[in-house]
Amino acid sequence: MTSAETIREITRKHLKENNGVALGQCLTAVGWVGGTVPEMTVEEGIVELAMADVSGGGIAVGYALAGRRPIYIVRYQGFQWFNAAHIANYAAKSKELWGIPCPLFVRSIGMDGGMGPVASGSHHGMFERMPGVFIVAPMTSGEYRKAWDFFMEHDSPMYVSEHRTSFKIDYEMEDVVHPNADVTLYPISSTRLNAIAAAQELAKEGIAVNIVHLFWLKPFLADERILGPLESSRHGGLIIDGDFENGVAKCIGFDIMRQSSKKIDVLCLEERTAGFAPHLDNLPPTPERIMKKVKELMTRA
């Protein structure tokens, strides 16, 4: 089963069995959001917001307060800069301030390439600093089910940083750990695919890199799975993200480094605004950029 099929079936079951609701803009247009939205009616719980993608956060929060556990779907993750006000400043704080939980499942979908200065890229970093919100970045069916099960067992909002490249994935991604690796890679979201490709090319040159996939971003737990491969790596670790570096990547890097004797670096979007033209794109680190960075790290003591 692909990730898209898993998301669709979770949504269908939630609407049919839990009195749930899924809302967003252009959900029922051609493709049904990459095949992730079940072809159901408004009477069955699909709410087509008749406005832009940038103003539904407040409505989603209202559904959450009414006990509907809404799935709020935002087709372009960059639009969360407009939606974040309601999610971060009401949903995240409601339980602590007023004792009223606001369980809201935010499907925030990242895309890259020709998307312009707002819509392109992943932007989970904007919620990193706000207490009261869980953040995950699933790429596989198994990870998505874990995220959903956790959401249903708790009563806090969950920010789900999705990426379109995950929708066709029909396998799980296992960590790759070598006995004495040169560098340990910690890729997030779509960069996990590029990290795998980079590792395969580096192996041809005799360079061994571990890959420790990061799915759960906040709260982040630097356990043995995270720290063990790093401690045995000769040149430290590298966190790779499709967001800007002053967000999740540096926060996780700090969390890891304060529990390790090894250094951590980050490789993210370039520190500039993307445009629409191909030559103005600001894309997640490619396999080539990852390979170059790994080789740079191997020159440090």
Which residue ranges form the domains of the chain, and what is each CATH number?
3-166 (3.40.50.970), 183-299 (3.40.50.920)
Local structure of 97: helix, strand or coil = helix
Averaged pLDDT score across all residues of the chain: 95
User: What are the distances in angstroms from CA 146 to CA 2, 29, 216?
Assistant: 15, 28, 10
* pLDDT at site 53: 64
Residue 92 contacts residue 63 (beta carbons within 8 Å): no
Give the sheet arrangement for strand 209-211, strand by strand: 209-211, 183-187, 237-240, 264-267
CB 281 within 8 A of CB 159: no
pLDDT of residue 83: 87
pLDDT of residue 52: 67
Cβ(139)–Cβ(104) below 8 Å: no
301 has pLDDT over 80:
no
Q: Output DSSP code: residue 44.
A: G
pLDDT tens for residues 59-109? 999 999 999 999 999 999 999 998 899 999 999 999 999 999 999 999 999
**What is the spatial distance between Cα 286 and Cα 292, in angstroms, rounded to a whole number?**
10
Confidence of residue 199 (pLDDT cuts 50, 70, 90): very high
Give the pTM.
0.96
| Residue whose token pair is 């995270």 | 226
Tokens coding 64: 């959450």
- Helices marked H in the chain: 3-17, 32-35, 57-65, 80-86, 92-98, 116-119, 125-128, 141-153, 191-204, 224-231, 248-257, 287-297
Residue 223 neighbours by CB distance under 10 Å = 9
